[in-house]
Structure 1
């Protein structure tokens, strides 16, 4: 009888130790693992809103539904140098604290070059838009449903009429 209780307690302890890392994960951190960037939940939500403004949901999935804001974070974290990452993060701060209408207007103005924002904000938007489009065009949805790709440049038609 004592052995059953001991085994039960060991299994409960092992299960708790297995779940411990998920409980110790810092609250308010981004949902992807980043090595060089320190992005919080609120900033991730803002990136999601900006991505959805750039590629909104229509008859096709939008940027948020495809998780492109996470793609942008991972690409900036892994592929850009420290200077570009610093400009990205400081440029993101200029978009914080705006309501939905003001955010949409600022993204639109930045896209068309109308707004007089800082160089860091322009660098942020340039990286964001470039990586959103890159992620969208290489997403599974686009590559399987929208792009009809053929391995061979043209199909072989054995019945094509040839003039002698």
Structure 2
């Protein structure tokens, strides 16, 4: 009887130790594991709002629903050089501060018109940090959308062999 009790307690303790790291996750950190960049949860939410402004939800899912901001973060973290990653984070921070200075509230609480005007200013910005950040963010958001499961399965019609032969296609004579 004692062996069964000990084995049961050891298994319960092992399960608790396996779950412990997920319970001790730091609050305010990014929801995905990034190796080279340090992004806070507020910055991640800001990126989600920017992506949602670029590709809003209509009759198709928007950028937030497809989690395109996480795609952009992972691509920048894995595929870009250290200098570009630092430029991206500096541009994100500068954009966050600019939204707070201009409207006295965060980007996520702005109206759609205000968001679009801020992104238009950002696209025409002369600051290398902000224009570099926006260029990467917009490019990766669009790439993520075009390569998402939704687009690949619902919007693009897959043909095994493109350009198949159609014998009944009308041909104009010269």
Moved more, 90-99 or 141-150: 90-99
Distance 1:65 1:119 in 2: 30
Task: Tell me by how many angstroms 1:67 deviates.
Answer: 0.6
1:156 CA displacement: 3.7
- Structure 2 matches for 1:1-164, cutoff 5 A? 1-96=1-96, 97=100, 98-99=106-107, 100-101=110-111, 102-111=114-123, 113=124, 116=125, 118-157=127-166
Shift of 1:10: 1.1
Residues 30-39 or 20-29, more deviating = 20-29
* Aligned partners of 1:95 and 1:103 also within 8 Å: no
Cα distance per residue 1:49-85 (max 9 Å; x no partner):
0000000000000111101000000000000001100
Q: Which of 86-95 and 7-16 deviates more?
A: 7-16
- 1:153 and 1:13 mapped to 2: Cα distance? 57
- What displacement does 1:37 show? 0.6
How many pairs are equivalent?
159
- Superposed displacement of residue 155, structure 1: 3.0
Aligned Cα root-mean-square deviation (Å):
2.1
Change (3 A) 1:9 1:130: same
Partners of 1:46 and 1:161 lie apart in 2 by 53
Unpaired segments ≥5 residues, structure 1 = none
In 1, distance between residues paired with 2:40 and 2:24? 16
